[in-house]
Structure 1
Amino acid sequence: MCRPSATAPNSTTACPASGTSCIPTNRTTARAAPTRASATAGLDRWSVARQFRVAFGTSPTRYRTPRQLDLARGLIRARVPLPDVAVRAGFADQAHLTRMFRRAYGLTPAVWSAAVGARRPGRR
């Protein structure tokens, strides 16, 4: 599996391993990437998932979720409102963000935000 360059997250780059073009991965294409990868590679989505697991040691979803949560934590630190954090990080809605956040860290995003001092001024 190849990954696009970190400098151009929305562009297509050449894969060093195969010479084919990489799938752009950003928050808006994260869900579509397995379908595009299977079309580009000429494999069904299950074969792509198996190859991903061999290459990275985990499923595509389990690989993606921690990256979404890292992005969400950065946005929370930047004092972005939680509904916007959820959308920007690629979650379906704020409830989805909260479930994944609690599962990973044992705290809700609001409690974590207060603990790290990222709450907006004037909020109690």
Structure 2
Amino acid sequence: MEFFIILAVLLVLFLAVDKGLRKGFKVEKKRLSDSPGKKADAWSRGIILVAALAFIPFVVTETGDRLIWFWIVYLTGLHLVQAFLQWKYIRESREHLVTLSMLPVGLAALLFIRFYFF
């Protein structure tokens, strides 16, 4: 039960940080799927997903120690590619600044869950 409470708190924290970053950077939410980068976004997500699925058998162990690092690498790669595509295709919206700023928050949350619960 404690795990779900902490997940709910982290979700509220993510939403608050996202809203604060958007106010601070003066960024309106804009999606890549509404831009010329729609295909590049879909392809990049697909390639990263296939690569991640290919590595799952190597990271899933009985202890699960490598699984957290798999998620960290996966989410970092996904966010960096997403930020690059946002910078390239919707640069004027400055959405990439929010994406790059949310990356350390997400990584800190993953590490907190890893070291607090496991």
Q: What TM-score do you get using the length of structure 2 for normalisation?
A: 0.29
Q: Which has the larger radius of gyration?
A: 1
Q: What TM-score do you get using the length of structure 1 for normalisation?
A: 0.28
Which protein has greater RCO, CA pairs closer than 8 Å, 6+ apart? 2
- The structure in which a higher percent of residues are helix is 2
